[in-house]
Structure 1
């Protein structure tokens, strides 16, 4: 890091955080950002992209601490929370003021916070654009902005955020550095790079949608009626297998809530992350998992992108994703930064084609694993009972009504 042009305080912070050597994306991008270049950085999951833009932004902050220096946009609330935490950690010696602006939290408090000119604003496009539209004075807070960052840029540039981005860009100074970082490249990113008048520096180590070699990728083939029984068996083997924590991916919010209640009934600690939860509850669940107080996180694909939790040794695909690329993002939550990890797909007869699609996408076969059926089925009665209780609890807590109400709005 001493060869990249960073200040001494930044070098001391890197040392304290045990960041001894820059990754490739950091080594290439940090000097260009410090030199004032726009940057498009494409690098695989777990490669250190956040520090690649956060360190040079904080370096600049140490020189001029007045006003909002940087706006960082990211597609999900959970990613925004993680980015804000990383900015605070990397900027701890500067007492950096970082504002989190996401949906589900109090808008008035957020507007007040922005009016007080924090150093860095980390936001989701929907909430920051809504605040800028509601308060005509708020764009002034960004008059001295020097950096616009799009993290997981492929998702932020998705057509779903087009209107929000238009509102945001109209409120920002034209003279600024724009930094785009993503784990994958898309036609939109390529077109943006080719059409840019500022000739951004392009760093790309993108090798297609691939998984890392340190990830052990497996699947089990089970009958549909036994999925829960096998899931509970896998979780019961975590401690014996030296697995610190696991993320279980499911396809719907309903399944996420149901499995959470089922595990709760079996006295297995787990937290869940899905869009029917309020933002404070989502933050609480994520914090409990990241701190190690709970070792199992149930999630929809809201958690499949960008989340960096070093203790995740296992990813379970309880529901096989329809799109192979979603599988790659999911399993990217483990085996990060060169470390090992395991992914297991719980497949039924309906999932054969999906498994084949995944294997074709990643260019390798998944390893088929078989458990001793008599050991697995020892708990079948307890699991079936827990599932019945979980279904009744879902009726009692009004979850089904929430689902119906949301479907009626669509």
Structure 2
């Protein structure tokens, strides 16, 4: 939606508005931007929404579109392909980065040429990119705090093979042409099984093999069991030697401290606070704050 606002002058020529994965469009809180976009489109346009599932966010999107939208739902269950190996490593939260760095150090031995690391927040994405760069790892980061031009540049470096590892949030990776990769790492376990399926679907495409490794802490156990129930497959244990993994723990802890200081220096912390403030103000102005709170309570009670 933010990118669409840049080319809003061309909207008078639009005859069709097509939104793929429409159930995810409002995940990043783009409701106000979409409202403006819809108002600028010709009323004679045809709106087409495509989604795997009907959600409350999608119902909001249909209401925002004003004119009656054509909605296509194609839910066939959330399944993963047989050629995908799904593994986990059960760890303490305080050594999560240590295990991640160890796995990345073994990419060549594992025959992995390219990997995507999925995280849940922009903050984690930025911090991890700084940490890995401090350890001389070649990575690109993709999150919504970055301008679209910087996101596309990061993606180009990854697609062209300049860097073998891409760090990404779910929202930032949506709608971008990310190629098939050999390995997907779930640094953070997603809240919903559908997000897990979308993530690991970046590998093991077109009949080829692929590997997905999930870093699981004690707080993630219920989420993992829910994912296994939905996809109908139990994850296998990722084998690694603990003494080998922890050999560089001091070096990695130091790199994390340096990365945290760099985040303060580059103004990320202030940008994050300002963005949260703007989001809350927008929601409050539109009377959506209570609605969103009720939605979260419903989601918690449904678990």
Task: Place the TM-score, normalised by the shorter chain, in its bin.
Answer: 0.7 to 0.9
Pair 160,307 (structure 1): closer, same or farther in 2 beyond 3 Å: closer
Q: Which has the higher contact order (CA 8 A, sep 6+)?
A: 2
**What is the match of residue 260 of structure 2?**
391
CA RMSD of aligned residues (A): 3.0
Superposition deviation, residue 242 in structure 1:
1.3
**What is the match of residue 81 of structure 1?**
none
Cα distance in 1 for partners of 2:72, 2:123 equals: 41
Superposition deviation, residue 254 in structure 1:
1.1
Question: Which of 208, 221, 225 is the matching residue for 1:352?
Answer: 221
Cα distance in 2 for partners of 1:266, 1:299 equals: 19
Superposition deviation, residue 350 in structure 1:
1.3
The 3-state SS of whatever aligns with 1:212 is coil
The answer as to whether partners of 1:304 and 1:329 remain within 8 angstroms in 2 is no
The 3-state SS of whatever aligns with 1:329 is helix
**What is the match of residue 154 of structure 2?**
285
The 3-state SS of whatever aligns with 1:342 is strand
Cα distance in 2 for partners of 1:230, 1:236 equals: 10
**What is the match of residue 202 of structure 2?**
333
Superposition deviation, residue 185 in structure 1:
3.5
Cα distance in 2 for partners of 1:345, 1:238 equals: 15
Unaligned runs of 5+ in 2: 63-67, 281-303
Aligned length: 269
Question: 1:49-60 alignment to 2 at 5 Å?
Answer: none
> Normalization by structure 2: what TM-score?
0.77
The 3-state SS of whatever aligns with 1:385 is helix
Superposition deviation, residue 259 in structure 1:
0.7
Larger Rg: 1
Cα distance in 2 for partners of 1:271, 1:301 equals: 15
The 3-state SS of whatever aligns with 2:108 is coil
**What is the match of residue 235 of structure 1?**
104
1:382 corresponds to 2:282? no
Question: Which of 137, 144, 150 is the matching residue for 1:275?
Answer: 144
Cα distance in 2 for partners of 1:239, 1:391 equals: 29
Cα distance in 1 for partners of 2:212, 2:11 equals: 45
> Normalization by structure 1: what TM-score?
0.59
Question: Which of 258, 269, 282 is the matching residue for 1:400?
Answer: 269
Question: 1:7-406 alignment to 2 at 5 Å?
Answer: 103=3, 124=4, 126-127=5-6, 131-132=8-9, 138-140=10-12, 142=13, 147-156=16-25, 161=31, 163-164=35-36, 166-169=38-41, 171=42, 173-174=44-45, 180-182=49-51, 184-186=52-54, 206-406=75-275
Superposition deviation, residue 309 in structure 1:
3.3
Cα distance in 1 for partners of 2:271, 2:30 equals: 24
Superposition deviation, residue 406 in structure 1:
1.8
Pair 163,395 (structure 1): closer, same or farther in 2 beyond 3 Å: closer
The answer as to whether partners of 1:220 and 1:345 remain within 8 angstroms in 2 is yes
The answer as to whether partners of 1:250 and 1:298 remain within 8 angstroms in 2 is yes
The answer as to whether partners of 1:210 and 1:362 remain within 8 angstroms in 2 is yes
The answer as to whether partners of 2:141 and 2:166 remain within 8 angstroms in 1 is yes
Pair 384,297 (structure 1): closer, same or farther in 2 beyond 3 Å: same
